[in-house]
């Protein structure tokens, strides 16, 4: 076996002992009766478990050369509890189009979504070629009006609303552009 596998086997023994007795202890006589090879292997496994953060020392005294307790991480390892070791990367393509990062403490909002950005989103979508052409045609007229700062007519997006409502990146980009246009002083 490998040090890793041996250490995980020992971790399970420590877990069982902790549940029964409150800690995993090896008394001096038992430790001294181990062969030099067994003692070295045990020490390497314990060091491995400590460095991984699975165990910590419990009672240090002359009668107990080894006294260990599991950490929360050690218990999770034995019980196969799945945890996220790192923060997930967040990529929000909604009303705040363009927020990307880990544990954002503030939002970075990029409302400068151009028609070329929208064209890339449409081309990368799973729309049929016919639907892509229709969506691009309708969005082109909308973005032309936004560029000219012309009023947006009611119902401009009604013909493609059912297509873009389920494709969040595109919907977020269009809503972002519309929000910026409508809230910017003329």
Residue pLDDT, tens place only, 56-65: 988 766 566 8
Greater confidence (167 vs 97) lies with 167
Residues in a beta bridge with 90: 101
> Which pLDDT score, from 0 to 100, does residue 52 have?
92
Q: Which of 23-32, 37-46, 110-119, 169-178 has the lowest mean pLDDT?
A: 110-119
Residue length, the chain?
A: 186
Q: Do residues 98 and 109 lie in contact, with contact meaning Cβ atoms separated by under 8 Å?
A: yes
> Which pLDDT score, from 0 to 100, does residue 45 have?
92
- Summarize pLDDT for 156-184 with one digit per residue, the tens: 878 788 878 777 788 888 888 888 877 87
Greater confidence (112 vs 88) lies with 112
Q: Which two tokens stand for residue 153?
A: 């007519």
Greater confidence (91 vs 17) lies with 17
Rounded CA-CA distance 116/148 in Å is 16
Rounded CA-CA distance 73/50 in Å is 11
Rounded CA-CA distance 93/164 in Å is 13
Mean pLDDT of the chain: 80
Residue 118 has pLDDT above 90, yes or no: no
> Which pLDDT score, from 0 to 100, does residue 95 have?
47
pLDDT band at residue 54, thresholds of 50, 70 and 90? very high
Find tokens 């699975």 and name the residue.
54
Find tokens 């050369």 and name the residue.
65
Q: Dihedral angle at the C-alpha atoms of 23, 29, 31, 34, nearest 10 degrees?
A: -140
Rounded CA-CA distance 137/122 in Å is 11
- Classify residue 29 by its DSSP letter: H
Residue 109 has pLDDT above 80, yes or no: no
Calculate Rg over the CA atoms of the chain: 31
Rounded CA-CA distance 57/44 in Å is 15
Residues in a beta bridge with 26: 66
> Which pLDDT score, from 0 to 100, does residue 185 have?
77
> Which pLDDT score, from 0 to 100, does residue 83 have?
66
Q: Which two tokens stand for residue 53?
A: 């953060």
What class is the 3-78 domain?
A: mainly alpha
> Which pLDDT score, from 0 to 100, does residue 107 have?
47
Can you say how many angstroms the Cα of residue 103 is from the centroid of all Cα atoms in its chain? 10
Q: Dihedral angle at the C-alpha atoms of 40, 41, 42, 47, nearest 10 degrees?
A: 90
> Which pLDDT score, from 0 to 100, does residue 111 have?
52
Q: Which of 8-12, 16-20, 101-105, 173-177 has the lowest mean pLDDT?
A: 101-105
Greater confidence (11 vs 185) lies with 11
Domain ranges of the chain: 3-78, 85-186
């Amino acid at each position: 076996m490998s040090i890793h596998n041996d250490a995980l086997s020992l971790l399970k023994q420590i877990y069982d002992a902790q549940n029964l007795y409150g800690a995993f202890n090896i008394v001096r006589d038992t430790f001294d009766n181990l062969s030099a090879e067994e003692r070295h292997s045990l020490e390497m496994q314990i060091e491995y478990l400590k460095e991984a953060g699975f165990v910590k020392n419990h009672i240090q005294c002359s009668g107990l050369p080894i006294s260990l307790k599991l950490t929360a991480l050690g218990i999770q390892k034995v019980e196969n509890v799945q945890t996220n070791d790192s923060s997930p990367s967040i990529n929000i393509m909604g009303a705040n189009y363009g927020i990307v990062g880990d544990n954002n403490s503030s939002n970075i909002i990029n409302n400068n979504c151009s028609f070329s950005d929208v064209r890339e989103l449409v081309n990368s979508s799973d729309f049929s070629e016919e639907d892509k052409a229709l969506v691009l045609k309708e969005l082109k007229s909308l973005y032309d009006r936004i560029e000219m700062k012309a009023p947006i007519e009611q119902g401009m997006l009604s013909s493609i609303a059912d297509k873009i409502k389920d494709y969040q990146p595109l919907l977020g980009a269009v809503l972002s552009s519309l929000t910026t246009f409508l809230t910017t002083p003329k």
